[in-house]
Every structure is written in structure tokens, then in C-alpha cells.
Structure 1
Amino acid sequence: MVVVSRWQALRTRWAPVVVPLLRLVTGVGASALATYAYLILVARELGPEGYATFSAFWAAVVILGAGVYLPIEQETARRGVGTPDVTRPRRLGSTALVAALLVTAGLGVLLLGSWPALSGFFSDDVLLAAALVLGGLGYSAQFPVRGLLSTGRRYGRYASVLGTEALLRVLLVVALVVVADPGPAALAAVVGLAALGSALAGVTRTGVGLFADGGALHFLRSAGMLIAGAVALQTLLYSGVLVARALAPPGQAVLAGQLLAAVTVTRIPIFLFQSVESLVIPRIAELAFNGDTVALRQAVRRLVGVVAVLGTVAAVGSATLGPWLVELMFGPEFRVSRGAMTLLGVGTGIFMLAVAASDITVSLAGHAQMAGSWLAGLVAGGLSLWALDDLVLRITVPLIVGSCVAALLAATAARSRLLAAVAASH
């Protein structure tokens, strides 16, 4: 009876926390699997040359999603912690939504005004660029909702958003492949449609009682440094695809498509890391806000430990299983050398360490330091690009060099912020 009573007590205490977290991990896992299924279906439908065209869209939409709209989610989550004095109250959810829509409108104007210069990047396919704007609209709806769910610790609903997006991506791309002969633009439009549909899964009474100080422009100014750093971060992460697309000789036009397949495989640990990352900023911000220095240090140690393990998996897994996995998942036409896979894996591992350090810095309100770290890393990666002649090295080495610089600077900033938070609590 005593054992049963203790079990019931533990269940009552931890079930409200553990069950939603398990749902979140499940949602992130479903999203990762759906992303891989989506990319594999697209690659097998288009072949390496068509996939090279699609890679331009995919690199751009990931840079925008994780570089612009994810910071809006993170800023929404950060603002939802505590109850600060609000002199010009606006609903936090509405403010974040309008801010995201303003970004999307700016994207559309930018593409329209600079199309003569950018058309070659999109293989002169206007519809592919339109699919990028559609992706922005979908993310404008989805990421503010995710930020509100994160700050409210509604992890089950957060998971439903990710799971719905995952399901819609797979269903839509399968439907297109079955009933039509889709090109890159039609397959790219799936991203925006799935994001729009998934936002509906999380909007019910989300963000009730949460307010922001100022409107959308004030929100964007606050998130500006975060966005600048995140864009630099994602540009560095996808530098290999961008370089391959821009610098591959005409006879190697399919190289960008093959590289995107390799990048997708080496990014598997990053998808796993995202199940932790979505909890990091609001949790560390809350602990710092409450002055709980013991729990704050423990949270930071756990994060660094998880990332160290995943980084090792990325490096070792890419070196040993990478080429085989690329061909298994994408087909025999997608062949990448073991050396390139090893370099991509090492770069991914170092990159995750830098992301963990910058997440800690952002959690402690170090937006400018985070942005500076990644901008410096991007510059360092660019300098290494021009110092190399071999195409494979120019594709893979900038991520390693840039991530090392960003990791060093972000870790220094995170340590400084953490020590300041501990000192302020005493």
C-alpha cells in the first residue's frame, strides 16, 4: 500500500509536466520525420538536377523560417515571462502576428524589386519565388502561436502544431505526386500551406491575458538583433548549399541538389536538438527572472551535455554512415564523398555547440552579443571561402570556421551573462 501511495503521489506530481513534454518530443520527432519524408519524396520526384533548383527555395525558406520567424517566436516566449510594467498595452499575440506579417510583406516587396538580380538563383521560376512568400505567410501565422504556447508551457498543444504541420506536408506532397506531375514550385508551395494549416491547431485561447508594451514596430525593434544574428546563423548553416548553387561549374549543376541531400542527413541531430531548444529560452529566462541560480546552472549544464552528445553523434555518424545513408534515403543518383560528409558532420557538431551558447545568451537578454557572435562567424566563414580553391572545401569548411568563431564568442558572452545573473541574485 505504501508503494502504491508513493507511486500515485509521484504520478500526481509529475504527470502534468512529463506528459506534455513527451507530447512535445513526439511532435518534434514527427516534424523531423515528415521533413525527411518530404525532402526524400521531392528529391526522388525531381532527380538531382530538379532538386538543385528546389534547393534554392529550401535554403531560402529555412533561412527565413529559422532566421526571421523563429526569433519572433522566441521574442514572444521571452516577453510572456513575468508581468512587466506595460505603458502601452497591446495583446502579445496580435502584436507578434502583425510583426510577422510586416516581415512577410517586406519579403514580397524585396523579391519583386530585386527580381532581375535574384531570378537566376531561382532558375527564372517566378512561381518558386511566390512559394517562398507563401511560406512566409504560413510562418507568420505559425511562429507567433508557437511562442505563446511555449511561454504558457502548453507543450501538448505545441506538439499538435508540429504534428499537424508534419501530417499536412506528407499528405500534400503525396497527393501532388499521385495526381499530377509537379515541378519544384508546386512542391515548394506545400511548406506554406502546411504551416498555415498547422497554425489553426494551436490558436484556441492562446495568449489570453498576455500583453506587450508597444506595437508591432516596437516588437520588431526589440527582436532586431535576434533576427540579425539568427539570419547570420542560418546563412552560415546553409552556406554549403548557397556556395554550391553559386559556384558549381555548369557541368556540375546537380551538385547543389546532391549537397542538399548530404546536408539533410548531417542535420539529423539538429532536429533532435530542437526538441530541447524550444524549451530552453523561456525556462532559462524564467529561472534568471526568479533568481533561482542553482536551477539556472543545472539547466545550463544539462543543455551543454545534451548538445555535446548530439554533436559527437553528428560528427561520427556522418563520417561512418553518411554516404550510405544519403544513397539509401535519396537514391543512387545522390552520391557524396566520405570526406565531404565528415567535414559536414564536424561542422554540424560545432555549430550546435555555438547555438547552445547563443540560446543561453538570448535567454539572459544578450541579444546584441548573440547577433555579434553569428555575424562575426559569418564573416569568418566568408573569408575562409575566398581563401580556398577546391570546390568541396569551399562548400564544407566555411561552416566549420564560422561555427568555431561563433561558438567562442557566444560561449564567452553566455558565461558573462550567467555570472552577472548569479551575482544579481545575491
Structure 2
Amino acid sequence: MSEEAGPTPSAGPGDHASTSEEAAGSGAIGRVTVATLIAAASGYLVLLLAARDLGPAGYAVFAVFWAAYGMVTGAQNGQLQETTRAVRANVESRDRADDGDRARPWLTNVLVGVALGALVAVTSPLWSGHVFSEYRWLSVALLSVGVASFAVYAHLAGALSGTVSWGPFAALLSVDALIRLVASVVAVVLGLGLVAFLVITVVGSVSWMLLLIGSSSARRCVGLPADVPTHRFTANTVTAMAAAAASAVLVMGFPVLINATDGIGGRADAATVGAVVLAVTLTRAPLLVPLNSFQGVLITRFVDGRHRLMTALQAPVAAVTAIGVVGAGAAWLIGPWLLTTVFGADYRLSGSALAGLTLGATAVALLTITGAAAVATAAHRWYAAGWWVATIASILLLLLPLDVQTRVVVALIGGPVVGMVVHLAGLAARSRPAAPATRD
């Protein structure tokens, strides 16, 4: 049984704790940090290359497709989260039960990916004309194939996280980001235009193929079982995806919400709305791109520390808060100059607005951390409730009769704070000694 799990999970029960601690310490912080820096930098450069190469009109088309892909795959992060939890919990309990009645996450995740891809294709006549203004059917085809492929990517990332196989996990993140970056450079040099950037949006997810070809550890981890039967794993995955869908709306889909509510406090000019949308993306990336990559690390950390969860929460919460506060100060001081220098004179926002948006990104990041803790303790309903409450609260706050910059800042801070309260309430309920073990 240990041979199937690869190098890290092959450790026996007696030495599991030390193996896990060593891997989670040096491996996670070192390798995954480098990989997330590569992912963050690559994401920035791809957006910059697209904005410069395509011009405002072309970039608008690209940005909509980028957001659509991000919203769907954002929901699929629920697959990564539940796979991480289930595989990690199974590795820890391998000495107590057989694998016969336990789910095979790879099969569930592949079927979910195929079903999502088919759903996108079948329903596309109803919505694609309202979303994709150019290359409508190419966009639908790319989106369908992309989400099916991403399901395997999410599964592999979750399985590697659950077995604390941080080397292959870091390689998966890096290859995914670098494929897009290299392809973007090629597209700009050869003048391939908008179609190339649409393809580039989805092409990175094939990195799972390269990793399975090149890594024996990845091949051993990909087929590991869960800690629960198939029906329970499937239900947990669907619940996690429902919550992740809310987070995708709040994170990737927020520019759509800004446009939809424009005019509430007096219609803003197009340049101001465009600057706000761009600033929301830019202020989030330094925190949310790395944190998204670290979700597997966080869930693994919280599974291992579920009996002292509040202690396990302290370090990531403190780190994200400190980064957010420092980032907000930097955004206030140099943000306006940086925005106009890099992206052009039309992108003008005040330092206070950029600082507020950075604090909003920090609030979303903290909500992501409390959500990871909820998943780790199998509090899937609390996890989903927190994200959906945060999303609904943000939408309601966007309807306040204020100018667009103020509305967006208030919504980005207020919504996540409410969602965090829900998550923490769930974690507190599950930590009470008298509470039933299965309470959700």
C-alpha cells in the first residue's frame, strides 16, 4: 500500500508526523513559494503583453474570455480542495482501514470535468452571444475543452498537496504559468493577435500531461484513494465547488459586477470604470495568485493541525494581514504613478482608492484562508455558506448610491468580512467538545 503513495506518503505511521512536518516546512515554504512567485509574475506579464499588443478593444475581448475561464475554473478549485483534504486524511488513516470502500478521486474529478465541459457546450446558445462579442464559437469550444482539462489539473494538484509532494506540485504550478508566458511572447513576436491569446488562456492547464510524463511521483499520487466512500466524496466535492463558484464570482467575476452596477451612484465615465476594473485585478494578484497556489499547502496544514486549528490559523492570517497593510501603504504612495506609467495616462485613480482596493484584496485573501480551514475540518456547508454570504453581501454593497470607486472598495472589504464571520462561527461550532463529530 505504501508503494502506491509515492515517496512522502510511504512513511509508516510511526514516522509520519516527522515526515509531514519536514515536508510542510522546508518543502512547502521553499519550493511552492518559488513556484507561486513564478505564477504571479507570469500572470502579470501575460496581462501586460495582451494589453500592449491587442489595444483597448482587443484586450476587452480577451479580458472577458479570461474572466469567463477564470470563473469556471475558479469553481473547479473545489475539486482541488476536497481532493487535498480527502487524500491527506486517507494517508493519515491508512493504518486503520482498507481502501476497498473508499472513493477514487481521479475518476470522480475526470467525470466532473467532462460533465462541465459538456454543460458549457450544450448551454452555450443561451448565453454565449451575451458574453463573447467576437469569436463566439471558438471561445465556447476553448472554454469547454479548457475546463475539462483543468479538472485533471485540479485533481493532480490536490493529490500532490494531500501527499505533501511539494516538488512535483511546485513543478505543476511553474509549468502551467510558464507555458502561458512563453506562448504570449511568441504570439506578440509573430503578431498572432487575439485568437492566439484566447488559446493561451486555456493552454496552461495541459501542464498535468507533462508532469505525468516526466514525474514518477506524480504518477504514483494521481490514483490515490480518498478517506470516504464515493458518494460522500462526490457530495463533498460538489459542495466545495458550489462554494468555490461563489469565490470565483467574487474574485474573477467582480469586474462583471462592477459593470453591471455602473450607474447606481451616477454613471461613471468609461475611463474611470476601466481604471477601477484594471486596478481591482492588479491589487489582487500579489496576494490572491500566490494564495490560490498555496491552498493545497494550507488545507494540508489545517488537516494536520485540526486539533489546534486556531493556532494553525495564526501564522497565515498574520502574514496575509501584514502583507496587505504594507501593500495598501505602497499603493497609496506610488500606485497612481505606477498605474499611469505602466498602463498609460488614461488609467487614473487616487492613492486612497488604490489603498482601499488593496485592503479589499486582503479581506478576500483572509476569507480564502478561513475557507481552507473549514474544508480541512470537513465543514463543507459552513465553507459554502461563508463564500455565498460574502458574495451576496458584496453585491448588495455594490448597490449603495455612492461613486464607483467608493462602492467597489466598500463591497470588497465588507462582503469578505461577513463571510469570515460565518466561517469562524462554523469552526467554533465544530471545535466545541460537546458538538457531534459530523456536525456541519
TM-score category by the smaller chain? 0.7 to 0.9
Deviation at 1:234, TM superposition (A): 2.3
The residue aligned with 1:196 is: 206
Q: 1-side partners of 2:58 and 2:398: how far apart?
A: 26
Matched, 1:135 2:143: no
> What SS is found at the alignment partner of 1:114?
helix
> Counterparts of 1:271-420 in structure 2 under 5 Å?
271-274=289-292, 276-288=294-306, 293-294=307-308, 296-420=309-433
Cα displacement (A) at 1:366: 0.8
Q: Is the 8 A contact 1:55 1:241 kept in 2?
A: no
C-alpha root-mean-square deviation of aligned residues, in Å? Answer: 3.0
| Residue 108 (structure 1) shift | 2.4
The verdict on how the C-alpha distance between 1:174 and 1:208 changes in structure 2, with shifts beyond 3 A counting, is closer
Gap regions ≥5 residues in structure 2: 1-17
CA distance in 1, matches of 2:262, 2:141: 25
Q: Mark the CA change 1:286 to 1:255 in structure 2 (over 3 Å): closer, same or farther.
A: same
Q: Does 2:87 align with 1:114? A: no
Match of residue 125 from structure 1:
135
Task: State the one-letter code of the partner of 1:22.
Answer: G
Larger deviation: 363-372 or 134-143? Answer: 134-143
Distance (Å, rounded) in 2 between the aligned partners of 1:276 and 1:99: 23
Determine helix, strand or coil for the equivalent of 1:335: coil
Give me the whole-angstrom Cα distance separating, in 2, the residues matched to 1:298 and 1:191. Answer: 38
Secondary structure at the aligned position of 1:388 is classed as: coil
Alignment-mate amino acid for residue 38 of structure 1: V
Counterpart Cα distance in 2 of 1:420 and 1:208: 36
* Unaligned ranges ≥5, structure 1: 1-9
Question: Distance between the aligned counterparts of 1:130 and 1:170, measured in 2?
Answer: 22
Among 159, 163, 169, which residue is 1:152 paired with?
Answer: 163
Identity of aligned residues (%): 27
Contact in 1 for aligned 2:331/2:354 (Cα 8 Å):
yes
The answer (yes or no) to whether the contact 1:229–1:371 under 8 Å persists in 2 is: yes
Deviation at 1:124, TM superposition (A): 4.6
Which amino acid counterpart does residue 39 of structure 2 have in structure 1?
S
Q: 1:247 to 1:381 in 2, by over 3 A?
A: closer
Distance between the aligned counterparts of 1:139 and 1:220, measured in 2? 17
Query: 1:276 deviation in Å?
Result: 4.1
Q: Pick which of 141-150 and 127-136 moved more.
A: 127-136
Residue-by-residue CA offset, 1:371-403 (whole Å, 9 max, x unaligned): 111211222222222232533334443222211
- Distance in 2, matches of 1:94 and 1:209, equals 9
2:62 alignment counterpart:
54
Q: Is the 8 A contact 1:239 1:395 kept in 2?
A: no
- Distance across 1 between alignment mates of 2:50 and 2:259: 18
For the 8 Å contact 1:273–1:307, the answer to whether it is kept is no
Contact 1:49 1:253 in 2 (8 A): no
* Residues 77, 315 of structure 1: alpha-carbon distance in 2 compared, 3 angstrom cutoff: same
| 2:246 pairs with 1:229 | no
- Corresponding pairs, count: 402
Letter in 1 for 2:54: L
With over 3 angstroms needed to count, the CA separation of the structure-2 counterparts of 1:298 and 1:339, relative to structure 1, is: closer
Distance in 2 (alpha carbons) for counterparts of 1:131 and 1:208: 25
Q: Residue 94 in 1 paired to residue 102 in 2?
A: no
Residues in 2 aligned to 1:181 and 1:151: alpha-carbon distance in whole angstroms: 40
**Amino acid of the residue matched to residue 180 of structure 1?**
G
**Closer, same or farther: CA 389–306 of 1 in aligned 2, 3 Å:** closer
Task: Supply the distance in 1 between the matched residues of 2:424 and 2:30 (Cα, whole angstroms).
Answer: 29
Letter in 2 for 1:369: W
* 1:123-162 deviation line (CA, Å, top 9, x unaligned): 2531334333343133123111101111111101011111
- Is the 1:240–1:259 contact (alpha carbons within 8 Å) kept by the matching residues of 2? no
Given the alignment of the two structures, is residue 76 of structure 1 paired with residue 83 of structure 2, yes or no?
Answer: yes
- Residue in structure 2 matched with residue 3 of structure 1 by the alignment: none
Bigger mean CA deviation after superposition, 151-160 or 334-343: 334-343
Determine the structure 1 residue equivalent to 2:173: 162
2:51 match: 43
| Counterpart secondary structure, 2:305 | helix
d(CA) in 1 for partners of 2:35, 2:434:
33
The CA deviation at 1:218 is 5.9
Q: In the alignment, residue 144 of structure 1 is paired with which amino acid?
A: H
Q: Are the equivalent residues in 1 in contact too, given 2:66–2:201 (CA < 8 A)? A: no
